[in-house]
Structure 1
Amino acid sequence: MTPQPPYCPNGPHGPQFPALWKDTSLTGPNTPERWRWFCNGCGTYWEPTPEQKARFT
């Protein structure tokens, strides 16, 4: 079972503001995996915690 991503701490939660999504646009074939959370509702990027990195990488 895939773990559920966290929700944005800045706003309401619900169908119009779903969980954060994993933005991997900074990761490439010859680069280490570097990703961050993105909230489609407010447009904010969040650095994942070390626990989230281990769980979602």
Structure 2
Amino acid sequence: MRLELAAALRVTEHAAGSLMSFAEAVIHDFPSVLTSMEHAAITEDHASILVGELREL
């Protein structure tokens, strides 16, 4: 799946894996971050920083 995503987005396989990991975390572990993104309260960049920092707690 990662390789297919990389080809579709024209990014490296590593970048596609990172995107998939971020998406899984937002959906399963941090749904409030997803809700904030849906309401345009935060950007994807903000969400990425939040998820990265919250994972370390």
Identify, as 1 or 2, the structure richer in helix. 2
Sort the TM-score into its range (normalised by shorter chain). Answer: under 0.3
Taking structure 1 as the reference length, the TM-score comes to 0.24
Taking structure 2 as the reference length, the TM-score comes to 0.24
Identify, as 1 or 2, the structure richer in strand. 1
Q: Which has the higher contact order (CA 8 A, sep 6+)?
A: 1
